[in-house]
């Protein structure tokens, strides 16, 4: 093998390795980026179904209906306006989602810092990955409208 050909081959392997590493870094947090919204309980109505075979819009509509039903029951039980209860539930959910995003970003930052320390990524690469996650532009990135969940 000629010297130039060997350099090109080694460069190609390096690029492929860096791409593979990036895929591992991004795939590693999949558990941490799981949808934090509660899954339907076993007592979910028959119309909600098991979730299998339903479209995202159908699942979202079923989830929204369950939230509205809960708000209605709480409002009746507490003697408070349903809109007020729904607003409080939405506020709590938004706070929980923000806290979950903060936790995911902190975990990602630790993994990226370790990858830089191990020489697997440059600091610039780690910074770019973190910024993309922070902005919700990564798949399953956790920002409003980012990832597989979508914003409300």
In a domain, 101, yes or no: yes
Pick the residue with more confidence: 147 or 137? 137
Q: At what angle do helices 3-27 and 123-135 cross, to 10 degrees?
A: 40
Please write the tens of the pLDDT for every residue from 94-106: 999 999 999 999 9
If you average pLDDT over residues 80-107, what whole number do you get? 94
Q: Which two tokens stand for residue 102?
A: 């903060």
In a domain, 46, yes or no: no
Please write the tens of the pLDDT for every residue from 25-61: 444 444 444 444 444 444 444 444 455 678 989 999 9
The C-alpha atoms of residue 142 and residue 106 are separated, in whole angstroms, by 12
Q: Which candidate, 133, 102, 127, places its Cα nearest to that of 115? A: 127
Q: Which two tokens stand for residue 95?
A: 């706070």
In a domain, 142, yes or no: no
113 has pLDDT over 60: yes
Q: What is the pTM of this model?
A: 0.51
In a domain, 10, yes or no: yes
In a domain, 15, yes or no: yes
Its domain, for residue 109, covers: 3-33+54-135
């Amino acid at each position: 093998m000629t010297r130039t050909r060997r350099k090109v081959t080694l460069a190609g392997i390096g690029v492929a390795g860096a791409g593979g590493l990036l895929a591992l870094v991004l795939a590693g947090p999949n558990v941490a980026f799981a949808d934090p919204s509660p899954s339907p309980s076993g007592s979910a109505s028959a119309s909600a179904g098991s979730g299998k075979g339903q479209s995202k819009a159908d699942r979202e509509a079923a989830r929204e209906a369950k939230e509205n039903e809960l708000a209605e029951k709480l409002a009746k039980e507490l003697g408070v306006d349903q809109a007020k209860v729904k607003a409080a539930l939405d506020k709590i959910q938004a706070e929980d989602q923000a806290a979950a995003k903060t936790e995911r970003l902190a975990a990602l930052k630790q993994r990226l810092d370790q990858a830089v320390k191990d020489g697997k990524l440059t600091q610039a690469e780690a910074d770019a990955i973190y910024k993309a996650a922070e902005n919700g532009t990564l798949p399953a990135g956790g920002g409003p409208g980012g990832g597989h969940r979508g914003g409300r």
